Amino acid sequence: MENQPQQRTKVWFITGASKGFGLSLVRQLLQQGHHVAATSRNLKELRRAVNNDSTEFLPLSVDLTTESSVSEAIQTTIGRFGRIDVVVNNAGDGQLGSLEELSDEEARANFEVNVFGSLNVIRHVMPHLRRQQSGHILNISSIAGFLGTFPGFGIYCATKFAMQGFSESLSVEAKAFGINVTVVSPGYFRTEFLTPGSLSVPQQPVAAYEEVRQSQAAHQNQINGNQPGDPDKLAATLIQLTNEPNPPLHLFLGQDAYDLAHQKIGAVQHDLEGWKTMSVSTGFAS
């Protein structure tokens, strides 16, 4: 123990903290003496779940899809703790259904939370991080934001691919201000994500999509409750990550995510090289 450097106390801002990854993070951080601002749609449920009355914990009622609500939460956090060191865009829900089945409204609702909710946080936290010339933003995407071949998860994948895209851009924009960005891609972890409170099913299912219904049933009945990933280990890993001097832009979590990422990279490499002649044939003749 003597040789281990003492990690300094940090201020964390975490979205979607009443259950799952968010709750695991809040509990471990408070136990380690960090300051934690955590958001939820349901303040009462968040307070009940965390069960901590200390001044280190700031529970916040936030609607992530309303910019003024997000802005107010960040101002309140700065008012209480004076700074923000780590931001976790964790809140997210899933919309199951084939692209044909899902209405414009259903598709957009998933983007509102996963994409535009996260962008609201980034837009309002960046001025503070720039002023500090430091900070670490962790955007919780998914392996489904790197590999899209899951029947019935096209819209969810699209939201999580969007997070990968803006995280990569943000990493280069924020670098000049000493701010790190990591886009996190977990595989299957045992949280409440596959339960009706987080995963919606199509309002107008189309019977012909048998593979989508099979995928839906498998996720709801077999995979839910049997996911290999431990959310407490994921939370501990993210905390450890923020102590790294050079954190990665991409972090895959879980053996399944690691294997599927390899599969995707191999498939892209295969197409890239197999179709190279066509790819490079489109420039002006010099």
Ligand X SMILES: NC(=O)c1ccc[n+]([C@@H]2O[C@H](COP(=O)([O-])OP(=O)(O)OC[C@H]3O[C@@H](n4cnc5c(N)ncnc54)[C@H](OP(=O)(O)O)[C@@H]3O)[C@@H](O)[C@H]2O)c1
- Interface positions with ligand X (CB under 6 A): 16-22, 40-42, 46, 64, 90-93, 113, 140, 142, 186, 188-189, 191-193, 198, 227
Considering the complex, what minimum distance in angstroms separates the CB of residue 281 from ligand X?
38
Considering the complex, what minimum distance in angstroms separates the CB of residue 279 from ligand X?
32
Residue nearest to ligand X (CB): 20
Distance in angstroms between the alpha carbons of the first and the last residue of the chain: 65
Nearest residue to 261 via CA among 185, 155, 192:
185
φ and ψ at 170, to 5 degrees? -60, -35
Considering the complex, what minimum distance in angstroms separates the CB of residue 187 from ligand X?
6
156 among known catalytic residues: yes
61 among known catalytic residues: no
Which entry of 18, 142, 160, 215 is annotated as an active-site residue? 160
Considering the complex, what minimum distance in angstroms separates the CB of residue 112 from ligand X?
8
Considering the complex, what minimum distance in angstroms separates the CB of residue 132 from ligand X?
26
281 among known catalytic residues: no
Distance separating alpha carbons of residues 85 and 147, to the nearest angstrom:
30
Considering the complex, what minimum distance in angstroms separates the CB of residue 159 from ligand X?
8
Rg (CA), the chain: 20
Cβ nearer to ligand X, comparing 28 with 132: 28
Cβ nearer to ligand X, comparing 34 with 219: 219
Q: Which amino acid, one-letter code, is at 123?
A: R
Cβ nearer to ligand X, comparing 42 with 279: 42
Cβ nearer to ligand X, comparing 171 with 191: 191
Cβ nearer to ligand X, comparing 72 with 192: 192
Which entry of 10, 18, 156, 215 is annotated as an active-site residue? 156
Which entry of 18, 40, 118, 141 is annotated as an active-site residue? 141
Q: Output the 3-class SS for the chain.
A: CCCCCCCCCCEEEECCCCCHHHHHHHHHHHHCCCEEEEEECCHHHHHHHHCCCCCCEEEEECCCCCHHHHHHHHHHHHHHHCCCCEEEECCCCEECCCCCCCCHHHHHHHHHHHHHHHHHHHHHHHHHHHHHCCEEEEEECCHHHCCCCCCCCHHHHHHHHHHHHHHHHHHHHHHCCCEEEEEEEECCECCCCCCCCCEECCCCCCCCCHHHHHHHHHHHHHHCCCCCECHHHHHHHHHHHCCCCCCCCEEEECHHHHHHHHHHHHHHHHHHHHCHHHHCCCCCCC
Cβ nearer to ligand X, comparing 57 with 193: 193
Active site residues: 141, 156, 160
